[in-house]
Amino acid sequence: DPRQMQDLPLNGRNWIDLTMLAPGARQNTSGDTPMGGAGNFQLNIDGQEVTNNMVQSFGQPKFSRDSIAEFEFVSNRFDASQGRSMGVQINAITKSGTNNPNGTFSGYFRDDRFIAKDFIQNRVLPYQDQQLSVTFGGPIKKDRIHYFANYEYEHNPVTYSHSSPWPSFNFDAKSNNTEKKGGARLDFQFTSQTRLTFRGNWARVHLPLDPRYSGGATRHPSTGIEVGRQNANVTVNLTQVLGSQTVNELKGGYSGYSWYQDSVLRWAN
């Protein structure tokens, strides 16, 4: 619920990690996915399917933790309105504005001065991470039109250490990873029975060195790969309460996820 989303401590501030608290979760780490393997999970944001089902090793759409109001982890049999998953469903609802203008500004920082030596390298590896997040919402017209917007930026300088049998190859490779996430939402309350919602989110992830292909004892620094990931989605939702037992809902939207990867070596023309 919103109180737990706000107060639970979370290293890295990835809200998907909170799914590990739910009964039925069997992972020690989540990353972008609540359960490994294509077809084993489905991510729904405000009723829109946003799951990347193509190459899941490139991750899933990113959403700022401060934009998520609450989420539901469904590990048992789900109803016919949901699907495309052999395992679990994650249903999340984004935040909306209220009659009271309010917002947040927060920063989160990690530094190698507070970490122990690496077991293999026998030294403290350089590490930093800075995250800044801002949200603001309020009324355009009291009781009728409300807005909410958010933006989050993460800067993560990382050092990958090589430990091959050839000392001349064993130098550190540095990477300044960045992650940007933003979103906006408009809610129109025409009557007590009719509501219209517009919501859009986007994210950009840039990894000058993909951690899967950097560092360790079996790779040369020249084998590094640069990766970029981006997602965007838009949802329009019209809800009408027609009676005590009847609700009419009309939804439309777009969800896109793309990526690129390239060698860190640049060839002369």
- Average pLDDT, consecutive stretches of 10 residues, N- to C-terminus, the chain (269 residues): 86 86 73 74 89 80 93 82 79 94 93 86 84 96 96 92 82 89 96 94 94 82 88 95 92 92 81
Task: Determine the 3-state secondary structure of 224 from DSSP.
Answer: coil
Provide the pLDDT for residue 106. Answer: 94
| Burial class of 184 by CB neighbour count within 10 A (0 to 12, 13 to 18, 19+) | middle
Phi-psi region of 65 (alpha: psi -120 to 50; beta: other; left: phi over 0): alpha
Question: Which uninterrupted H or E stretch holds 5?
Answer: helix 2-7
Provide the pLDDT for residue 24. Answer: 65
Interval 20-50: pLDDT, tens: 888 766 777 777 777 766 677 889 999 888 9
- Residue 209 is given by DSSP the state S
d(CA 234, CA 136): 19
Provide the pLDDT for residue 129. Answer: 92
Structure tokens at 205: 């992830």
Provide the pLDDT for residue 139. Answer: 96
Interval 102-125: pLDDT, tens: 999 999 998 988 888 888 778 887
DSSP string, 244-259: SS-EEEEEEEEEEEEE
d(CA 68, CA 57): 24
CA atoms within 13 A on the CB side of 86: 6
| Burial class of 227 by CB neighbour count within 10 A (0 to 12, 13 to 18, 19+) | buried
pTM of the full predicted structure?
0.86
CB 234 within 8 A of CB 184: no
Provide the pLDDT for residue 269. Answer: 65
For β-strands 173-189 and 145-160, DSSP reports them as antiparallel
Q: Which of 149, 248, 163, 242 is nearest to 198 (CA)?
A: 149
d(CA 226, CA 230): 14
d(CA 14, CA 210): 19
Amino acid at 15: W
In the chain, what is the greatest distance between 2 CA atoms, to the nearest angstrom? 75
Provide the pLDDT for residue 186. Answer: 97
What dihedral angle (degrees, nearest 10) is formed by the CA atoms of 43, 34, 134, 102? 70
